[in-house]
Structure 1
């Protein structure tokens, strides 16, 4: 049986291809470990330092490779997701940088990691990139709701990220259409493999039980139609006129790295977005609602208006710097309209993402193991966790907020 994990020989082969391009012949490899279970569900991540023997500065690297298990690949579109990320790094980001250069603005695409080598060969989808932890970047503790300072930095960065594609589309719509039309919604593609009635529906019905136990029958009644129409909601395409920006598509705690000044962990000074496997051309609210409903609890959900204003101010500022002077390019009023229409996306993702955040590493589902044993991966998050009370609290607060805003 083919191993689902990336072997040391395969890692060395990928490194040799990278080193050949760098003209490095002799080197030592210092292995530093792998991401913990639950850190990367459809790939293997290895951390290492490569030390050239010619006196060059060492390379602190992350090697990310797609899982190889045939049963997993038959059960989920793994290759499709990795090829999407390859496209983002190999074509879309270079195109966005060229566009920025053409505007002669001071805007920088400086919130993505530096990719040193990549491959989209079947069964060998691989990215070799800089290890940002050696530059002081850290993940937020995923078991804790994010604080206001971190949330606002994420919203600022999403505003900038979205502004780049929005401005490019406005400046050259035909060319932008050509390079972005293949950025379809891969969540819909995944739903063809993971039955939404099971994957999200089972968890959604559990949340309704939480609401019932909390004596919020009024909310249970409001959410019944969402439960009944879960497949339609998950598989519905956003109308073309609302697909305005290139979204990150998977903007949760595991895909955000923060940098700080010295020892003050309360005020992040920089951020890097990673894992662009689910990037898509869609409404900005897909990113905003996904992040907000997976990062916030009641204490910060009370400030969603502030977060949306922070996002929009960043978007407008970046658009202005890029030379887009029209005031009617995605106004704040339009943003609020999109929020009411599309924030259910983040709500429906929160039921499994927050569970992933609160799960301890030994509880996190192993999709390879699930598929190798012949079980349905749509049931991966259908388990009672140790921190069930915290999950219950977070879900009640998220679903209460959404109902007050949109139902």
Structure 2
């Protein structure tokens, strides 16, 4: 017997239902209701759709629990798939969440400090061709908001003021690849930042590097040996 009532989720296909069932079960829950998250993002883009759903469940002690998740589904368009390697993109993103990020977390745990939070929690994925789906934590339930795509980012933030950005999470890893750290920071600064940030670019590069170096020290490495600032900045200038 399904642990999610089929009559409540007729708008979802079987693959998505199965993933939601597995998500609930692997978290120790039995779910009895699923509904669209009307407050969450509903997005249909070139590559597919993203939508939020709410799973209302009971835990093993019959205590009510809520799981807020995002379903990221690839387009089934044959025309699109002749132009874009969608299956490879979803496979890559699933691997980053499920393997690479878990390895990062375990590495930090082995060093006996709290893992860094920088992305939504990964639950499950299906990578069958033309049925690619990824189920993730819905960050909107923790008061995160998508930054307007047409608005340049500035430096205004305040860890103590909830009316200003206090934390950030990264999403969308379909094009992730192996490379130098400077590639990420350079692309971000040049494509997302306002003019004032670019004018003070070296200050922000130093800020980024200092944060990276501090984390390397926490992990037990010497940044001056493994990745000195001179090498970092040299790659920026290239």
CA pair 107-340 structure 1, distance change in 2 beyond 3 A? farther
Q: Number of residue pairs matched?
A: 222
Measure, in 2, the Cα distance between the counterparts of 1:117 and 1:137: 21
Structure 2: tracts of 5 or more residues without a match: 1-10
For 1:102 and 1:111, locate their aligned partners in 2 and report how far apart those are by CA, in whole Å: 18
Tell whether 2:144 aligns with 1:137: yes
- Give 1:17 deviation, angstroms: 3.4
* Match in the other structure for 2:122: 115
Q: Go from structure 1 to structure 2 and tell me whether the alpha carbon gap of 1:321 and 1:24 turns closer, same or farther (over 3 Å shift).
A: closer
Contact 2:127 2:133 in 1 (8 A): yes
Task: Report the Cα distance in structure 1 between the residues aligned to 2:118 and 2:131, rounded to whole angstroms.
Answer: 26
CA distance in 2, matches of 1:29, 1:325: 49
Aligned to 1:270, the other structure's residue is in SS state coil
Structure 1 residue 20 displacement after superposition: 4.1
Identify the range of structure 1 (141-150 vs 15-24) with the bigger mean alpha-carbon deviation.
15-24
Structure holding more helix per residue: 1
Name the counterpart of 2:103.
95
Distance 1:261 1:62 in 2: 28
TM-score (norm 2): 0.83
> Within 2, Cα distance between the matches of 1:45 and 1:135?
17
Alignment partner, residue 233 of structure 2 = 336
Larger relative contact order, structure 1 or 2 (CA cutoff 8 Å, min sep 6): 1
Say whether the 8 Å CA contact 2:109–2:115 is kept in structure 1.
no
Q: CA deviation at 1:65?
A: 1.6
The answer for the alignment partner of 1:264 in structure 2 is 163
- Once the two structures are TM-superposed, the CA of residue 13 in structure 1 deviates from its matched residue by 3.7
**What do residues 200-228 of structure 1 show as CA deviations (whole Å, max 9, x unaligned)?**
xxxxxxxxxxxxxxxxxxxxxxxxxxxxx
Is contact 1:97-1:109 (8 Å) kept?
Answer: yes
Distance 1:101 1:26 in 2: 31
Whether the 8 Å contact between 2:55 and 2:66 is mirrored in structure 1 is yes
Please, which runs of 5 or more residues in structure 1 have no aligned partner? 1-6, 154-259, 342-407
CA contact (8 A) 1:114 1:129 kept: yes
The equivalent position to 1:50 in structure 2, one of 55, 64, 74, is 55
Match of 1:367 in 2: none
* CA deviation profile, 1:269-316 (whole Å, cap 9, x unmatched): 211111111111112222112111111232221111111001100111
Alignment partner of 1:324 out of 208, 221, 238: 221
CA distance in 2, matches of 1:303, 1:117: 41
